[in-house]
Chain A
Amino acid sequence: MAPAISCVFLVALFSASCEAIASTDQMCIEKETNKTYNCENLGLSEIPGTLSNSTECLEFSFNFLPTIQNTTFSRLVNLTFLDLTRCQIYWIHEDTFQSQHQLDTLVLTANPLIFMAETALNGPKSLKHLFFIQTGMSSLDFIPMHNLKNLESLYLGSNHISSIKLPKDFPKEKLKVLDFQNNAIHYLSKEDLGSLQQTTNLSLNLKGNGITGIEPGAFKSTVFQRLDFGGTLDLLVIFKGLQNSTVQSLWLGTFEDVNDEDISSSVFEGLCEMSVESMYLQKHHFFNISSSTFHCFTSLQELDLTATHLKELPSGIVGLKSLKKLVLSANKFTSLCQINAANFPSLTHLYIKGNMKKLDLGTGCLENLENLHLLDLSHDDIEISDCCNMQLKNLSHLQSLNLSYNEPLGLKTEAFQECPQLERLDLAFTQLRVSTEQSPFQNLHLLKVLNLSHCLLDTSNQHVLDGLPVLQHLNLQGNHFPNGNIQKTNPLQTLESLETLILSFCDLSSIDQQAFIRLKIMNHVDLSHNRLTSSSIEALSHLKGIYLNLASNHIDIIPSSLLPILSQQRTISLRGNPLDCTCSNIYFLEWYKENMQKLEDTENTFCANPPLLRGVRLSDVTLSCGITAVGIFFLIVFLLLFTVALIFAVKYFLRWKYQHI
């Protein structure tokens, strides 16, 4: 008997474990009901039967499909996006996609393709994006082109292609992106470029190809949206080759792992013979920059010199008078005056972020940039005891200023007086030293967005945020309030136009009922990651239809009197709170179930109490607190049965005892 029982037990155990394996191994993730599935990394060798016939978007990468043919996907007639990255596909047989009329994007990246049948891509009515990256292709003839009339982008990177020449009948009317990065293309001939003639505004990517020659006149009268020659060693060849072309955006940067030589000024002579709007020269070394180096850059609107080892720019530079946007990030300036801003009087956008040395802003270094709209000076180790009027002198049109991730800045009243047009100001992660009673942002009449996260702001200063009449968005994440409490009088009360307020990670334990009373039009309040209890909800009683994030606080019980305040809001998150799931919280638990459509992240909103329900989703909890009558009934029945049993026991005991007399 015992062996038989253990056998049954073992078999049961075995079958149970088998089921568990099957269910975890085969499951695709349904990202959008009946439409989008993710089946990545499952080792599947066919389309699982569990997928809906109406699937539109299928991520099927890292599976096993050595051969795909007309039966492989025939059931999924609504597919628009199909990702077959690294599925070990060798063969794509006839009519594989014949029933996928809607197919828009097909990703075949990293499959060791041996052959594609002539009709392999027939079926889709409007195939727009094709990815053949790292498929071992050495010639474009490999791609069957009967059904590519609507093709917009073709990605052919990391193959063995040595010529960009498109086959004779290759449809290119709608082609916008042609990506050949990391191939073996070394020469561009007139014939190669001639094959692209019918395209308009093409983006051609030749990054990582080591172009060593371009036939003179090859690019004559061509127009490109973007040309990318990233990592090319010899820029002289490129500029000479591009003569008489028009390029909107020309990417000529290099990389850490490419041995480049110093660029001499003569390299740029070719630029006089072409028209470029934006040029990128990242990571190059310039040999001897002089004031005439840029004399052929006159048509340029945008110049990116990121990480080009610059220590200074000479004064009196010719050719950059009409430049609109300049990027000088990740260089080695010690003072802002070293960029000689007078060179660029038309500049509207200036980026100097991530400077490799501590940047001294000096005095009035940018005063000639009267048209400057945007200035990015983040990650520069800037440290100033009295900011920012001297430093930003005469920038009266500045609308956007980024001083985030710097060393401490001392701000006094009207610290940004020189830029009264400011609409966006970002000071995140820069410590601000504001003396008591000072109002550094005073008179920023147009400021809409202010980021003060992790600024260690002195919030006991009631006037610190004075003078911001139209401020809509304020981020105060990571700042602390006296005693973790926002009192009735607090610096926020003056911000009557505020719509978005972020007070997460502020170590708050309470908020006064009246704390936000003058902030009447807020629609997004983030109070997450604090120590708030439900009583702080009262501070929001005057607000309606807001997004309210209360995640990761100390909320356990929400009394019924506070539920109307929650009911009048649009979306609420309560994830990560020690929510109570006992009868003392029954009103909230009932409200929760009735208002699921208002709640965000319900999948991760769990009970913390009682211990039996810890970790259970609130949405799965059903309490029966009003059902005590049934409890009493059962108790009575139990007592009755117990009494009966006791009587019988006594009876038997007595009978047994007297039998022996």
Chain B
Amino acid sequence: MNRVAAALLVWTLTSPSSSGRGDAWPVHMACSSGGLEVLYQSCDPLQDFGLSIDQCSKQIPPQLNIRFGIILREDIRELFLDIALVSRGSSILNFSYPICEEDLPKFSFCGRRKGEQIYYAGPVNNLGIDVPQGEYQVLLELYNENRATVACANATVISS
């Protein structure tokens, strides 16, 4: 019987622990004020990233300022953002927006290289919108010209 216990012990110690890479990244709060709460979780299995949004409110103003920190896993000579908005299990909105292009690098970080650590604090050039009461799921994906993931976020927006 001892041998069984020993084998079990060895098994539990060496088997892939569920708290390691297989586990999801922690849920962070990007902002919470003015009746709006934005929570996000990185869906890139390789890494987490940091995001905080200034002036959080139900009436989202245009030209929001954000702070964003990440390690680039890919060059971002070209960078695109896909947003999928879902509420109560049904899709409301899908769109794709170019952030960096060869002939129009909109932001100063465009053209930076794989491996670089990036910190961006500045405007995002969004439209102003009022968020109706409810809970929304937002999938945000940043990727480059080869469709390689740069960042991926599962966000929950709660407007109360």
- Please name all residues of chain A whose beta carbon is closer than 8 Å to the beta carbon of B123 when the two chains form the complex: 256-257
Cross-chain contact of B108 among A4, A13, A255 (Cβ < 8 A)? A255
Interface of B is mostly: loop
B71 touching A256, Cβ below 8 Å: no
Complex Cα distance, B11 from A11, in Å, reads: 8
Binds B, one of A14-22, A432-440, A507-515, A586-594: A14-22
- Please name all residues of chain A whose beta carbon is closer than 8 Å to the beta carbon of B1 when the two chains form the complex: 3
Residue of B nearest to A258 (CB): B108
- Please name all residues of chain A whose beta carbon is closer than 8 Å to the beta carbon of B7 when the two chains form the complex: 7, 10-11, 14
Q: Flag whether B14 is at the interface (Cβ < 8 A).
A: yes
Q: Flag whether A181 is at the interface (Cβ < 8 A).
A: yes
- Please name all residues of chain A whose beta carbon is closer than 8 Å to the beta carbon of B107 when the two chains form the complex: 255-257
What 0/1 readout, one digit per residue, does chain A (47-61) give for beta carbons within 8 Å of chain B? 000000000000001
B103 touching A257, Cβ below 8 Å: no
What 0/1 readout, one digit per residue, does chain B (56-79) give for beta carbons within 8 Å of chain A? 000000000000000101000000
Within 8 A of A (CB), among B93-128: 103-108, 110-117, 120, 122-123, 125
Complex Cα distance, B14 from A10, in Å, reads: 13
Q: Flag whether B129 is at the interface (Cβ < 8 A).
A: no
B15 touching A110, Cβ below 8 Å: no
Q: Flag whether A124 is at the interface (Cβ < 8 A).
A: no
B15 touching A157, Cβ below 8 Å: no
A17 touching B3, Cβ below 8 Å: no
Residue of B nearest to A110 (CB): B115
- Please name all residues of chain A whose beta carbon is closer than 8 Å to the beta carbon of B4 when the two chains form the complex: 3, 6-7, 10
Q: For residue A559, give the distance in angstroms from its CB to the closest CB of chain B.
A: 38
Q: Flag whether A485 is at the interface (Cβ < 8 A).
A: no
A110 touching B106, Cβ below 8 Å: no
Complex Cα distance, B103 from A419, in Å, reads: 27
Q: For residue A11, give the distance in angstroms from its CB to the closest CB of chain B.
A: 5
Q: Flag whether A109 is at the interface (Cβ < 8 A).
A: yes
Residue of B nearest to A205 (CB): B111
A13 touching B116, Cβ below 8 Å: no
B11 touching A134, Cβ below 8 Å: no
B115 touching A86, Cβ below 8 Å: yes
Residue of A nearest to B71 (CB): A86
Q: Flag whether A607 is at the interface (Cβ < 8 A).
A: no
Cross-chain contact of A208 among B14, B108, B114, B115 (Cβ < 8 A)? B108
Complex Cα distance, B67 from A88, in Å, reads: 25
- Please name all residues of chain A whose beta carbon is closer than 8 Å to the beta carbon of B11 when the two chains form the complex: 10, 13-14
Complex Cα distance, B3 from A6, in Å, reads: 10
- Please name all residues of chain A whose beta carbon is closer than 8 Å to the beta carbon of B116 when the two chains form the complex: 109-110, 133-134, 157-158
Q: Flag whether A231 is at the interface (Cβ < 8 A).
A: yes
- Please name all residues of chain A whose beta carbon is closer than 8 Å to the beta carbon of B16 when the two chains form the complex: 17, 21
Q: For residue A59, give the distance in angstroms from its CB to the closest CB of chain B.
A: 10
Residue of A nearest to B46 (CB): A41
Complex Cα distance, B112 from A283, in Å, reads: 19
- Please name all residues of chain B whose beta carbon is closer than 8 Å to the beta carbon of A157 when the two chains form the complex: 112-113, 116
Within 8 A of A (CB), among B1-48: 1, 3-4, 7-8, 10-11, 14-16, 46
Q: For residue A236, give the distance in angstroms from its CB to the closest CB of chain B.
A: 20
Q: Flag whether A330 is at the interface (Cβ < 8 A).
A: yes
Q: For residue A661, give the distance in angstroms from its CB to the closest CB of chain B.
A: 53
Q: Flag whether A329 is at the interface (Cβ < 8 A).
A: yes
What 0/1 readout, one digit per residue, does chain A (296-312) give for beta carbons within 8 Å of chain B? 00000000101100000
Cross-chain contact of B117 among A41, A134, A231, A257 (Cβ < 8 A)? A134
The contact size tier of chain A is 35 or more
Complex Cα distance, B116 from A110, in Å, reads: 6
Q: Flag whether A180 is at the interface (Cβ < 8 A).
A: no
Q: For residue A137, give the distance in angstroms from its CB to the closest CB of chain B.
A: 14
B125 touching A256, Cβ below 8 Å: yes
A14 touching B115, Cβ below 8 Å: no
B108 touching A85, Cβ below 8 Å: no
Q: For residue B154, give the distance in angstroms from its CB to the closest CB of chain A.
A: 21
B104 touching A109, Cβ below 8 Å: no
- Please name all residues of chain A whose beta carbon is closer than 8 Å to the beta carbon of B104 when the two chains form the complex: 282, 306-307, 329-330
Q: Flag whether A97 is at the interface (Cβ < 8 A).
A: no
- Please name all residues of chain A whose beta carbon is closer than 8 Å to the beta carbon of B105 when the two chains form the complex: 230, 253, 255, 282
- Please name all residues of chain A whose beta carbon is closer than 8 Å to the beta carbon of B71 when the two chains form the complex: 86, 110
Q: Which of B1, B4, B117 has the most CB of A within 10 A?
A: B4
- Please name all residues of chain B whose beta carbon is closer than 8 Å to the beta carbon of A10 when the two chains form the complex: 4, 7-8, 11
Within 8 A of B (CB), among A98-118: 109-110
Q: Which of A21, A182, A257, A329 has the most CB of B within 10 A?
A: A257
Cross-chain contact of A14 among B10, B114, B117 (Cβ < 8 A)? B10
Q: Flag whether A441 is at the interface (Cβ < 8 A).
A: no
Q: For residue B91, give the distance in angstroms from its CB to the closest CB of chain A.
A: 21
B115 touching A61, Cβ below 8 Å: yes
Residue of A nearest to B110 (CB): A255
- Please name all residues of chain A whose beta carbon is closer than 8 Å to the beta carbon of B15 when the two chains form the complex: 14, 17
What 0/1 readout, one digit per residue, does chain A (13-41) give for beta carbons within 8 Å of chain B? 11001100100000000000000000001
Cross-chain contact of A306 among B103, B108, B111 (Cβ < 8 A)? B103
Q: Flag whether A229 is at the interface (Cβ < 8 A).
A: no
B125 touching A85, Cβ below 8 Å: no
A158 touching B125, Cβ below 8 Å: no
- Please name all residues of chain A whose beta carbon is closer than 8 Å to the beta carbon of B8 when the two chains form the complex: 10
- Please name all residues of chain A whose beta carbon is closer than 8 Å to the beta carbon of B108 when the two chains form the complex: 207-208, 230-231, 255, 257-258
A257 touching B122, Cβ below 8 Å: yes
A158 touching B112, Cβ below 8 Å: yes
Complex Cα distance, B98 from A306, in Å, reads: 15
- Please name all residues of chain A whose beta carbon is closer than 8 Å to the beta carbon of B117 when the two chains form the complex: 110, 134
- Please name all residues of chain A whose beta carbon is closer than 8 Å to the beta carbon of B14 when the two chains form the complex: 14, 18
Q: Flag whether A333 is at the interface (Cβ < 8 A).
A: no
A133 touching B103, Cβ below 8 Å: no
Complex Cα distance, B115 from A110, in Å, reads: 6
23 A-B contact pairs sorted by A residue (CB < 8 Å): A3-B1, A3-B4, A6-B4, A10-B4, A14-B7, A14-B10, A14-B14, A41-B46, A61-B115, A62-B73, A86-B115, A109-B113, A110-B115, A131-B113, A158-B112, A158-B116, A208-B108, A256-B106, A256-B122, A257-B120, A306-B103, A306-B104, A329-B104
Interface residues of A (CB under 8 A from B): 3-4, 6-7, 10-11, 13-14, 17-18, 21, 41, 61-62, 85-86, 109-110, 131, 133-134, 155, 157-158, 181-182, 207-208, 230-231, 253, 255-258, 282-283, 304, 306-307, 327, 329-330
Extra 16 A-B pairs, beta carbons < 8 Å, given A3-B3, A17-B16, A208-B108: A6-B4, A7-B7, A14-B11, A61-B115, A85-B114, A109-B115, A110-B71, A110-B116, A133-B115, A133-B116, A134-B116, A134-B117, A158-B116, A256-B106, A257-B120, A283-B106
Interface residues of B (CB under 8 A from A): 1, 3-4, 7-8, 10-11, 14-16, 46, 71, 73, 103-108, 110-117, 120, 122-123, 125
Which 9 pairs from chain A and chain B are nearest by CB? Answer: A110-B115, A257-B122, A85-B115, A86-B115, A10-B7, A255-B108, A109-B115, A7-B3, A14-B11
